[in-house]
Structure 1
Amino acid sequence: MAHRRFGAFYARSFERRPWLTLAIANGTLGALADTLAQTLEKYNGKPAKQIPSKEDVTQKLEGTQSQWDFARTSRFFAFGVGMAPLLAEWNKWIEHRFPLRSSVGAVAGKVSLTALGKRVAVDQIAFAPFGLVCFVGAMGFMEGRSVQGVGQKFDEMYMSALLANWQVWPLVQTINFRFMPLRYRVPFTGAIGIAWQVFLSILNASRNKVGTVEQGKIGRYLR
């Protein structure tokens, strides 16, 4: 019952203020993804004790609080908010440029697999590389890097992220473009994309700490 009320609320909000609705949803999902990423990083980076004492638990909690990178989470929130208008307009353009059904009078025809394939191909060839450019550039500048530093960040992580993207998102977008109504497409990809953003967050952070990716660590989040 609660999910139905939330769904109705979201639909009304999207109809009235689509950009604002998507901005809040996207920003929240981005912050959640980075929160999960930082939690995983801290968990995997510290060996667990069999029987921790009360003092150990207290020290660990205090250390986690003091070491938590709130600025990093804020950057992911800001990036999600900033991408919302682009995602909204891109999905709208895809919907009208490649209609899945041809209408004959008042009767809708069968779903065109050719049009569906075009939607996915255009999305992955055009928007996916562009979206990653936005991600790497925005993160670099929000981290306070110079133009040269942002260029180095591109060299270090862009192709790794793009190749990983093409392993995951064609199937996700096929399902999205085929079955999801327009107003639910960004939330759908956002929900599926939490794991993807966790990967990007970890990849981005690992590039900040060292010059090369810890391949074994990254691989665990791709499988």
Structure 2
Amino acid sequence: MSFSKFWNSSAKKYPVFTMVITNGTLAATGNILAQSLSFFSDENKEKHKSFFEKFELSQTVRFFAYGMMFAPFSFKWFSYLDRRFPFRSISPSVKPKKNFAYWSVVGKRLSADQLLFSPLAAGAFIAVMGAMEKKSLQEIKERFNERYFKTLIGSYILWPAVQVINFSIIPLIYRVPFAGVASVIWNCFLSILNARHKENAFIAEELELLKG
């Protein structure tokens, strides 16, 4: 059995469990790639540091745990949006026409996602990562005040475009993994830019925010 068939079978039988493991793995993979790309910059090569000495396993574990915790909420949210703003078609077996009404539904899903879910997700990321780092409540509050709006603004650079694709052509069962893959690409993109443009304060801040 191929991996895709195995994953589809698992997702049909155990959708939430499959999303949890998949999203946790993708989040950890994104963090490992981001750390790797940041390490293999010219600056680190000159210092001749060992990657395994520099690598923060605890950071990757935190991302894996957060990815697993976030997946059920994300999946339930996507399911709710499908029910709240359904596509109209002749029958469930017939794909809806991509007309004005179709894109109107996509727009409603996107608006709800970006105006309601994204602000909550940004806050949850900061709070949960702080808690996993064993920060005090006061330290988490200070981090929240410092990073919340930066995190939210950073998310608005990528996620509207990702979610338009997600809500328009990606089946519900694949939406959480699709978003996870987009996160991996985003983390790697920021890491590459950071290696090439060390002076760019915005990129450096985005990478720092991704560490929690």
Category of TM-score, reference length = shorter chain = 0.7 to 0.9
Note closer, same or farther for the CA distance 1:108–1:74 as it changes in structure 2 (3 Å cut): closer
Q: Are 1:184 and 2:174 an aligned pair?
A: yes
TM-score (norm 1): 0.78
Note closer, same or farther for the CA distance 1:129–1:190 as it changes in structure 2 (3 Å cut): same
Equivalent position of 1:93 in the other structure: 80
Equivalent position of 2:117 in the other structure: 127
The amino acid across from 2:11 in the alignment is F
TM-score (norm 2): 0.82
The amino acid across from 2:73 in the alignment is L
- Aligned positions of 1:66-145 closer than 5 A: 66-103=53-90, 109-111=96-98, 112-145=102-135
Question: Would you tell me which structure has more strand in proportion to its own residues?
Answer: 1
Q: CA deviation at 1:33?
A: 1.1
Equivalent position of 2:137 in the other structure: 147
Gap runs ≥5 in structure 2: 192-199
Note closer, same or farther for the CA distance 1:163–1:100 as it changes in structure 2 (3 Å cut): same
Note closer, same or farther for the CA distance 1:39–1:103 as it changes in structure 2 (3 Å cut): same
User: What is the aligned-residue RMSD (CA, Å)?
Assistant: 2.8
Gap runs ≥5 in structure 1: 50-55, 202-212
Q: CA deviation at 1:42?
A: 2.1
- Runs of 4+ deviating beyond 4 Å: 104-109, 197-201, 218-221
Equivalent position of 1:53 in the other structure: none
Q: Which has the higher contact order (CA 8 A, sep 6+)?
A: 2
Q: CA deviation at 1:155?
A: 1.7
Query: Whose Rg is larger?
Result: 1
Q: 1:23–1:80: 8 Å Cα contact kept in structure 2?
A: yes
Q: CA deviation at 1:161?
A: 1.4
